[in-house]
A and B are shown apart, each in its own frame.
Chain A
Amino acid sequence: MSHAQNQWIGFGDSEHTGERPVVDAHRLGLWFFLATVVMLFAGFTSAILVRRTSADWQAIPLLPLLRWNTLVLLASSVTFERVRTLARRSQRKQVRTWLAVTALLGVLFLAGQIGAWEQYRVLGLFLSSNPHSSFFYILSGVHGAHLAGGLLGLGYLLARPGRVGAVNLCATYWHFLGGLWLYLLVMLFVV
């Protein structure tokens, strides 16, 4: 542990606590918030594990559309990284452009998810059809709601592209949601 970290955690008798926290408050707050989201989905996960063992669990197929959606979401993470690099170099105009691209990909993902709901509906797989479909609708919905929150953040950044700190925070959240979606896919369709 570095000296600086030591001061932040503050055990020992350093006279400097409170002067220079190593992790800035907003980032720290975001981490704790993400921990609560992890616990939320841990709750859902244990529900899946329990419910999956019962006889009426009938696996629903993985739609090709979901693969495309996943690609779109991953692409948006890549473009967000581009935003971060540009923001660090204070190239505001380009930051705006790539932010817009990222947001567009985010919207496309959400639209794709709704499209997936529609395709399942056409296949006769409704929310109440069987536990697997119930979980799919609910978990993709909860994930989508979190992503919509991220889109609000992107909107804020579009208005204030100069805020590097905010860009970084939003990027962390966005990547987290990308990872979360991959996890959900694996939980629901692979293992």
Chain B
Amino acid sequence: MLQATEAPVAHEPTSFLRRYIFSTDHKVIGIQYLLTAAFMGIVAGLLAMLIRAQLAWPEANWSWLERLFPEGMSGGVMKPEFYLSLITMHGTLMVFFVISFALLGGFGNFLIPLQIGARDMAFPFLNMLSYWTAVPASLIMLASFFVEGGAAAAGWTSYPPLSAVPQAVPGSQWGQTLWILGMALFIVSFTMGGLNYVVTVLNLRAKGMTMMRLPVTIWTLFIASILGLLAFPPLTAAAILLLFDRHFGSSFYLPAGMFYGNKLLEHSGGTPLLWQHLFWFLGHPEVYVLLLPALGIVMDILPVFTRKPIFGHRMTLYSLGAIALLSMIVWGHHMYVSGMSPYVGEFFAIGTMAITLPSAIIGMNLIASLWGGAIRFRTPMLFAIGTISLFGIGGLGGIFLGNATSDIQLHDTYFVVGHFHYMIGGVTLFGMFAGLYYWYPKMFGRMLSERLGKVHFWLTMIGFNTVFLTQHFLGLGGMPRRYYAFTKYEFMQPYVHLNVPVTLAAFLLGAAQLLFLFNFFWSRFRGPVAEKNPWEATTLEWGAPSPPPHGNWGERAPVVHRWPYDYGVPGTIQDFTPQTVAANPTQQAR
């Protein structure tokens, strides 16, 4: 087999179709994933706006929406079952089709070969297949809104019996089946991508690029890929069994004695808890699949804008490994109120507390990386610092939830919604934006507007915290999640009105993203032309032209001589030393 360093410069395909649509170039595929994620993000974001509108002004009349959703909004008033479809699809799309697409599909594809000094992925064709499986998966999910009964309505967690009994709720008819198919295709696509990332990182590193010299971003993508590869298959198994319960009369999840109307269902002996276990065995690792790359991106952006090495490099890597291992054995903390034995609950609580330790170490290392730096407050840096703050707040909430004692009160309230939006919504979103502002010049050869970027950051920061911090307090007050309206609950009357400012802040948050969209497309053509290394960074991708050509490196692949964080090395003229600079005798390479 040809090795990366010796590979002849591959011939660039010339037809438009092979170059931009069915491309096997990792950079094109990465950008395809990012654009798909952006599109799905707009859809999922609009769903969130509908949810918020209903919560602030329950049962108000929005007649203009009837045209788009003649069933769900008939008469202009949102139906409860449509509300359930909205929350289900908002969660599903955001977790799998926005954040996974963007962080793993987008940044994973774009960055892995560039940052390890390879010319492409190990299996470029498989890579293309991965993207072109992700597209039908997305289309199936979107189409499910327009089938009879509407989109799936059992929550992104798809708990049976709601998801297993087609008569249970309209969305449980065709919508749920399409949900299962869409997820199956998503998992196939993720598997193809994940295999590629793992093998590429292990086998195609440039000369001198030891594992310890990989940027933390690559480490996090590597670990996240392995986690995803191992955690998704049990969900596939669970989904296959669910499909058979729904359509072929088996009873894996359905117990005896269930009635629909006054008709006894023919199932017997199953248990819905089986699904919960299988789902969360995936679900918990999956949140780290999304979180880790966001933290990795932040970790790599910090040294560039503080002009000093990151703090606790090795400790961070060990903590990432510890998180990956522990994340496989804490899933039960989502099920404290499912009637599990208190001893089992205690096991999961201890595991959950254990995982806060490496998480806290990473958080502390991020903060300490700022200490004493000559900080350059550019937009990527603002988003990176924002990410750290959200990680801290979300983690604090997690400690309350991780203890079974307090979780029994907080479970299924808006406290949980607030917590996981800080993590899976905030850390990942801010990390993604940090990465986009940072690597946009490398992707497109232009700089994004700083001024728009800063406004975007502050509006997003204010909107985000207003929405999700307030939700913590609503949850402490007892506001349950997934309820269609709260007009009939007397205990909530003193504070239910808080939903109005939350919704207004959510609208602000949504609108602020338009600034980014505008900036993205406008700068593509009008932004200042980017140099090769506009941020004065050290990692390999900044040694390639912006944007890098097909094959990335021209004739000679880079050779690596040092770790990625050599900023302010004494005795050097510049305050940064790229990874490709050979060690000089007066200084030790790391």
Contacts and interface: CB of A to CB of B under 8 A. Distances in A.
Interface-centre pick from A21, A39, A43, A46 (highest chain B CB count, 10 A): A43
A36 B249 contact: no
Given A11-B211, A19-B3, A39-B234, A47 B241 contact: yes
A12 B210 contact: yes
Given A36-B229, A40-B236, A47-B278, A54 B271 contact: yes
A158 B240 CA distance: 33
A32 B229 contact: yes
Contacts of B204: 18, 25
Given A32-B198, A39-B233, A43-B237, A25 B122 contact: yes
Interface string A1-40: 0000000111111111111110111001100110111011
A46 B232 CA distance: 15
B212 A11 contact: yes
A28 B244 contact: no
B4 A18 contact: yes
Given A16-B207, A47-B241, 6 more contacts: A23-B203, A29-B122, A33-B195, A51-B269, A134-B251, A134-B252
A18 B268 CA distance: 56
A159 interface: no
Contact of A11 (B210, B250, B270): B210
A55 B269 contact: yes
A65 to B, nearest CB: 23
Interface of A: 8-21, 23-25, 28-29, 32-33, 35-37, 39-44, 46-47, 50-51, 54-57, 127-128, 131, 134, 138, 142
A173 B373 CA distance: 52
Nearest to B249: A128
B286 to A, nearest CB: 13
A142 B233 CA distance: 13
Contacts of B589: 13
Contact of A18 (B195, B206, B244, B270): B206
A138 B244 contact: yes
B248 A50 contact: no
Nearest to A13: B210
B357 interface: no
Contact of A42 (B195, B234, B273): B234
Contacts of B273: 50
A37 B233 contact: yes
Contact of A25 (B203, B207, B208, B235): B203
A57 to B, nearest CB: 7
B274 A47 contact: yes
Interface string B315-358: 00000000000000000000000000000000000000000000
Contacts of A29: 122-123, 195-196, 199
Given A43-B237, A47-B274, A28 B210 contact: no
Interface in B118-136: 122-123
7 closest A-B pairs by CB: A43-B234, A43-B237, A128-B249, A56-B269, A40-B233, A39-B233, A134-B250
B211 A9 contact: yes
A10 to B, nearest CB: 4
A43 B240 CA distance: 11
B252 A47 contact: yes
Contacts of A57: 269
B237 A40 contact: yes
Contacts of B211: 9-11
Given A17-B207, A43-B234, A32 B249 contact: no
Interface of B: 1, 3-5, 117, 122-123, 191, 194-196, 198-199, 202-212, 226, 229-238, 240-241, 244, 248-252, 256, 268-271, 273-274, 277-278, 281, 589
A76 to B, nearest CB: 25
Contacts of A56: 251, 256, 268-269
Contacts of B252: 47, 51, 131, 134
Contacts of A24: 1, 203
Prevailing SS type, chain B contact patch: helix
Contact of A127 (B191, B202, B207, B249): B249
Given A17-B207, A18-B207, A131-B269, A28 B233 contact: no
A46 B280 CA distance: 13
A41 B203 CA distance: 28
B1 A25 contact: yes
A11 B314 CA distance: 12
B210 A17 contact: yes
Contacts of A20: 3
A39 B210 contact: no
Contacts of B277: 46, 50
Interface-centre pick from A23, A41, A54 (highest chain B CB count, 10 A): A54
A18 B269 CA distance: 55
Contact of A19 (B122, B207, B237, B249): B207
A165 B5 CA distance: 22
27 contacts: A8-B202, A10-B210, A17-B206, A18-B204, A25-B1, A28-B202, A29-B196, A32-B194, A36-B230, A39-B232, A40-B233, A40-B237, A42-B234, A43-B235, A43-B237, A47-B252, A47-B274, A50-B271, A50-B277, A51-B252, A51-B271, A54-B270, A56-B256, A127-B249, A138-B240, A138-B244, A138-B250
Nearest to A49: B274
A39 B252 CA distance: 19
Contacts of A21: 202-203
Contacts of A54: 269-271
B205 A18 contact: yes
B86 to A, nearest CB: 29
A131 B212 CA distance: 49
A58 to B, nearest CB: 10
A133 B196 CA distance: 37
B269 A43 contact: no
Nearest to B1: A24
A10 B1 CA distance: 20
A134 B267 CA distance: 13
B3 to A, nearest CB: 6
A28 B204 CA distance: 12
B123 A19 contact: no
Contacts of B230: 35-36, 39
B123 A25 contact: yes
Nearest to A37: B233
A16 B234 CA distance: 38
Contacts of B244: 127, 134, 138
Contacts of B195: 29, 32-33
Contacts of A47: 237-238, 241, 252, 274, 278
A24 B198 CA distance: 13
A17 B208 contact: yes
B1 A41 contact: no
Contacts of B250: 127-128, 131, 134, 138
A19 B5 contact: yes
Contacts of A43: 233-238, 278, 281
A9 to B, nearest CB: 7
A32 B203 CA distance: 13
